[in-house]
A and B are shown apart, each in its own frame.
Chain A
Amino acid sequence: GAGVSQSPSNKVTEKGKDVELRCDPISGHTALYWYRQSLGQGLEFLIYFQGNSAPDKSGLPSDRFSAERTGGSVSTLTIQRTQQEDSAVYLCASSPKGLAGAITDTQYFGPGTRLTVL
């Protein structure tokens, strides 16, 4: 597609349930990022995938959060046993190469998934 797409656009779930959020990056982009945008916390980095390298998981807030990227394209962010503090907008971004210090590092964002945990 022309841009980064994410699904669902909105997700309401009950505390304790698991959720999966999906991201389709721009075709040909090798780097994929997940960020979280919540009130009072701004935009926080969660995880980064680059090609076949081991992902940078340094931003994941707890072991309830995990992400996969299959076939170097689509990514799924999974949150297990959701808590109310997980309520936020989860944004996915992709970039052509994901190289720090290069303009090919420019990230293009999807519209986000708004997660509400009741």
Chain B
Amino acid sequence: GEDVEQSLFLSVREGDSSVINCTYTDSSSTYLYWYKQEPGAGLQLLTYIFSNMDMKQDQRLTVLLNKKDKHLSLRIADTQTGDSAIYFCAESRLSNTGKLIFGQGTTLQVKP
């Protein structure tokens, strides 16, 4: 199927780490992406990982990919109030001409 699934809500305290999880179903996924959407704004590309990698680190962001389990996660270290947003994972597949399949988004709430 086409499903990409995420938990809908995560609440953390400022300074803690946040882990947002995503599962997907299609083994032909090539690139997997994390986008951030702040209120009233479009989607901002945060990071991506190629499907033959298992980890990518970019400053406070760490992406882990378990291809066997089709599980993707985004870890945000030292979470700040400015990180409060909706986070979408998305996959791109060889079988699709570039279109992205999105999860339903995880709302991250950061409490001071």
Contacts and interface: CB of A to CB of B under 8 A. Distances in A.
B98 A99 contact: yes
Candidate in B31, B50, B98, B101 with the most chain A CB atoms within 10 angstroms: B98
A103 interface: yes
Contacts of A105: 30-31, 92, 98
B45 A106 contact: yes
Contacts of B95: 100
Contacts of A106: 31, 33, 45, 48
Nearest to B90: A43
Candidate in A43, A59, A106, A107 with the most chain B CB atoms within 10 angstroms: A43
Given A91-B42, A103-B48, A109 B99 contact: no
- Summarize B's interface: helix, strand, loop or mixed: strand
Contact of A100 (B98, B102, B104): B98
B30 A101 contact: yes
B98 A42 contact: no
Interface string A43-70: 1010010100000100100000000000
8 contacts: A48-B97, A100-B94, A100-B97, A101-B30, A101-B94, A105-B31, A109-B43, A112-B42
Interface in B63-78: none
Interface residues of B, number: 27
Contacts of A50: 97-98
Contacts of B41: 111-112
A9 to B, nearest CB: 9
B42 A100 contact: no
Contacts of B102: 35, 42-43
B96 A100 contact: yes
Contacts of A48: 97-99
B43 A100 contact: no
Nearest to A33: B99
B33 A56 contact: no
